[in-house]
Amino acid sequence: MSSDIQLSLFGESNINQKDQIPTDAKIPIPAGTYTNMTELAQHCNQCQRCELGQTRTHAVVGRGNLNAPIMIVGEAPGQSEDETGLPFVGRSGQLLEKILASVNLSTEQDVYIGNINKCRPPNNRVPTPNEMAACIPYLLEQIRLVDPQIILLTGATAVKGLTGEKQGITKIRGQWIEWEGRLCMPIFHPSYLLRNPSKEKGSPKWLMWQDIQAVRAKYDEIAGDR
Ligand code: URA
């Protein structure tokens, strides 16, 4: 018996499945649910899959080129992001833009930016495992829609949220990981660099400079192969 007929037996054949999705974390969001980022963003702004939905001003979905070859994944919005609805627009974001510009990358052309969690955790605390699990399906859909070849994971939460890898960021930063056919590189979160301003050899900022140059080189290599 088809699932449509089964549903109609219960008098529910007109239920639009998509409209049910955001309300409950138990309802999965299968790959292919959204045909574009606008639809996805509308759902995120109605979403109550976790309790962060109750305190957000705006869901923060993404910004940048929707067909970018490089995607950057952060942790969760902070205050400026919650207020504007755009990721990485506060101090961390300004530093991130500078890092990208240092190797001639930009959100207008090469990069799309999103986060593990779309809503701001109170007092900028790290999202809980449940909050991350509730929100990850949106990120997976964003990755499917943008279809980047390279994904940069900023900080341990982004690495753990997407790949499940639990090793500390200091250990794994700068190393390419293959995830679902895409090349991912864990890098330091820009807020960590703001707290560690030294540029000396071996410092977090110096290491970030090595990593972003490796990203640029890989991007050029991939472009050369096309
Ligand atoms: N930090 C993040 O991880 N994401 C943002 O969008 C802003 C700050």
Q: What CATH number is given to the structural domain containing 99? A: 3.40.470.10
* Per-residue pLDDT at 94: 97
CA 131 to chain centre: 14
Residue 12 CA to ligand 1 centre (angstroms): 40
Number of domains within the chain: 1
* Per-residue pLDDT at 109: 96
* Per-residue pLDDT at 18: 58
pLDDT under 70: residue ranges of the chain: 1-23
> Residue type at 107?
T
* Per-residue pLDDT at 24: 78
Residue 74 and residue 161: Cα distance in Å, rounded? Answer: 10
- pLDDT per residue over 131-180, tens digit each? 999 999 999 999 999 999 999 999 999 999 999 999 999 999 999 999 99
Best probe residue, ligand 1, of 115, 125, 169 (max atoms within 8 Å of C-beta): 115
Q: Which atom from ligand 1 is nearest to the alpha carbon of 74?
A: 3
Residue 18 CA to ligand 1 centre (angstroms): 28
Boundaries of domain holding 209: 3-225
* Per-residue pLDDT at 99: 98
* Per-residue pLDDT at 17: 55
* Per-residue pLDDT at 2: 38
* Per-residue pLDDT at 129: 96
Indicate whether residue 107 lines ligand 1 (CB < 6 A): no
Residue 30 and residue 119: Cα distance in Å, rounded? Answer: 21
- State the pTM of this model: 0.91
Residue 112 CA to ligand 1 centre (angstroms): 13
Indicate whether residue 188 lines ligand 1 (CB < 6 A): no
CA 140 to chain centre: 9
Indicate whether residue 114 lines ligand 1 (CB < 6 A): no
Best probe residue, ligand 1, of 71, 92, 157 (max atoms within 8 Å of C-beta): 92
Residue 194 CA to ligand 1 centre (angstroms): 13
